[in-house]
Structure 1
Amino acid sequence: MNSYKHAHLLIEKAVSKGVRVYAKTKINGKILKENQTQFFTETGHTVHAQTVIFATGYEAQEEVKGKNAVILSSYAIATNQIADQAKWHDNMMIWETARPYLYARKTPDNRIIIGGLDESTGYLEKRDSMILNKRDKLIKQLVNLFPELENRIWADYFWGAFCCETHGGLPMYPDHPNCYFLLGYGGNGTVYSVTLSQIIMDLNTKGVHEDSAMYVKERHFSKSIVH
């Protein structure tokens, strides 16, 4: 999906429900205490809040450099259009559990998107310097999966981007009073964020959620819980 358009539609829906949105408002100072939560804007305004939710994605590392967080560089390509992909079973999405991993899927216009081959670097110049090499490796990996595509595919589009995950795949919980961090880290971060948003909503409206123990710092898991 178009994630940029999707985010804006969510914001529009929130506004229709009464949420006030202040675009391009930079926060350049804050006071976070148990009985006092204030944010100061660059225009001199002060925002008071009972609860703060940080939903800033990887940029949260500028706020709290969590030792549990790792910034990676990931790569992907979109191939030329290929009409005959008969050996692709049921148009399934492919996602390896290996590290580094590969994922691949078909698009409605008969392209193949394949990506992965993550590198442990958060530096823009180093990330971009490897894009062409990763492009060629991804083509080879795709041919390894589907030998019949050899000499029939090339990368019409290719790119690199940062992604962030935690060492154990578990949430981050910085010691910020009255604050929650909803960041979408990891390959399944979007799914986890939906779950966590429901937990945060109930904690703030009802004071309790049966699964909040998975988020708070002092987690105690039973043997039946698998993350």
Structure 2
Amino acid sequence: DLALDPRRLTSGFLNAAIERGTRVYAPTEITDVDSGSDGITATTANGRTIRAGAIVFATGYELPRYVPKRRHRVMSTYAIATVPQKQKPLPEDCFIWEASDPYLYLRSTPDGRVICGGEDEEFSDDEARDALIPEKTEAIRRKLGKMLPHIDTTPDFAWAGAFGSTPTGLPSIGAVPGLKNAWAVLGFGGNGITYSRIAADIINAALAGKSDPDADLYAFAKTRAVR
């Protein structure tokens, strides 16, 4: 995996796409999608339509109504960024992720902070999630202090977020059942950078009428079949 600025990365992708002829509609809410053998018609909240040969739902943890929701769940997660440390907090640039449940992950930043997170909860209500930020902040800070007792764990920033998950830990990537010319890339969990690259290969092959050797691993039937 790697560290990056998500806003700069997204902006870079959008600008590169625009330079290649992509038309961007933003902010735009799609309220309905009709599919047929000749393509897709998407209707916006203000009644306008967008025509395309195909559609890819890449809506993160929010599953559109066209996508099977069985076995998918939305989780809440928490994180902090400490004050800048007087000395380098880790001997080298690295990511640390505990192989446990509950888990803790952490990394250092170029300006000497430590970003640390975890303490996931199995609910998606944003008010209930955010109400737990003070409690979760203290829990993360306490665990971080035990792991790295030499650092100042005082949080400069604390936040919460949501992510999609499946029982297998794998995302859903592939054709949307019952909707022609429609694909989806959803439920990446905490591995968005890795899975988004895999999704790009799978969807690109599908749109070109080809098959990707990994496509069957992430198809909707696979994520739904787990007991």
Superposed CA deviations along residues 91-121 of structure 1, whole A, max 9, x for unmatched, are 3211112122110111111111110110111
**Paired residue for 1:118?**
120
Of 193, 198, 201 in structure 1, the residue corresponding to residue 201 of structure 2 is: 198
Aligned mates of 2:214, 2:123 — CA distance in 1: 34
Equivalent position of 2:28 in the other structure: 25
- 2:225 corresponding residue in structure 1: none
Q: Which residue identity lines up with residue 69 of structure 1 in the other structure?
A: H
Q: Report the residue type matching 2:112 in the other structure.
A: N
Which residue does 1:159 correspond to in 2?
159
Q: Cα offset for 1:199?
A: 1.6
The answer to whether the Cα contact below 8 Å between 2:141 and 2:154 also exists between their aligned partners in 1 is yes
- 2:75 equivalent to 1:48: no
Aligned residue number for residue 93 of structure 1: 95
1:147-177 Cα distance to aligned partner (Å, 9 max, x none): 233xx43111111111221121223254233
Q: Does 2:111 align with 1:109?
A: yes
With normalisation by structure 2, the TM-score equals 0.85
- The count of residues paired between Structure 1 and Structure 2 equals 216
Task: Tell me which amino acid in the other structure corresponds to 1:209.
Answer: D
- Cα distance in 2 for partners of 1:159, 1:120 equals 17
Identity of aligned pairs, percent? 31
CA distance in 2, matches of 1:137, 1:112: 15
Calculate the TM-score normalised by the size of structure 1: 0.85
Answer yes or no: is 1:169 the counterpart of 2:172. Answer: no
Contact 1:184 1:193 in 2 (8 A): no
Separation in structure 2 between the aligned mates of residue 63 and residue 97 of structure 1, nearest angstrom: 34
- Going from structure 1 to structure 2, the CA distance change for 1:85 and 1:51 (only over 3 Å counts) comes to same
Aligned residue in 1 for 2:79:
76
Structure possessing the higher radius of gyration over alpha carbons: 1
Unaligned residue ranges in structure 1 (runs of 5+): 220-227
Q: Indicate if the aligned counterparts of 1:184 and 1:192 stay in contact, CA closer than 8 A.
A: no
Q: Distance in 1 between matches of 2:85 and 2:19?
A: 42
Q: CA deviation at 1:179?
A: 1.1
- Structure 1 equivalent of residue 7 of structure 2: 4
Displacement, 1:30?
A: 2.1
Q: 1:145 offset after TM fit, Å? A: 0.6
Letter in 1 for 2:119: L
Other-structure match for 1:67: 70
